Amino acid sequence: MVPVLRHGLRLGAALLVLSGPAALVGAPHPLAVGRAQAQEAAPEETQAPGRKTSRRARERASKAAVTAPGMQQATPVAIFGDWNVFANGQGKARVCYAIAQPQTRSPKTLKRDTAYLFVTVRKAENVANEVAVMLGFPAKPAGSQAKANAGAAPTDPTLNLGATRYGLVTKDNNAWLQNPAEETRVVTEMTRTPKLQIKTTSLRGNPTSDEYALAGFGDAMKRAREECK
């Protein structure tokens, strides 16, 4: 139900090996680690719009905990608006995170796996604001991705908060902030802004945009930090 854990997440004395989209949770930033082993993502395809979901079905879904594939071992803690709080492990190995799915996705005719945006707190590593995205499809990398802390070019994948753009570094169908030093600023702005957009271009050349509602995010992060004190 979260981000990209490439190798595994140590839970107590056992090593939980994650596969599929779950590989994101707890994974170190790709610019901080020489090699990244994110999972292969299924290629996206164009398709006709599917049938509409009833309002009642959408309301039921909005109240259910968001659980990404491979993260069923994580314990649901609370739900604040579109944001879910989960925790994994005990003591110093405990990992907590706030996670949500996009409210809208465009283009609507593009078939993709489910996307997730999450912010992780890893107690053992003193990490409090790691921002990561599971895109649901392989994305083109940023032109400046080879340079650590480089600014975002106009065509690079970005996380957008209002008029501010933050460059993203991508690996297969996963993404992180290109400059880890911006994580605290981004998380702070997420508590003050109503929505966030993730803009990328797929490997097939399709521009994409996922919009996340941020109502409830501040409370979700507060609870995640309390769970990982």
Does 125 fall in a domain? Answer: yes
Mean pLDDT, the chain cut into blocks of 10 residues (229 residues total):
31 25 44 32 41 37 50 85 94 93 94 94 91 94 66 78 94 92 97 97 93 98 95
- The torsion of the CA quartet 98, 102, 103, 106, rounded to 10 degrees, works out to 170
pLDDT in the model for residue 172: 85
Does 51 fall in a domain? Answer: no
pLDDT in the model for residue 72: 57
This prediction has a pTM of 0.71
Q: What's the domain range around 192? A: 9-34+61-227
pLDDT in the model for residue 156: 82
Does 55 fall in a domain? Answer: no
Does 46 fall in a domain? Answer: no
DSSP designation for 52? P
Other CB atoms within a 10 A radius of the CB of residue 57 amount to: 10
For residues 22 and 43, the answer to whether their CB atoms sit within 8 Å is no
CATH code for the domain of 77: 2.60.40.1880
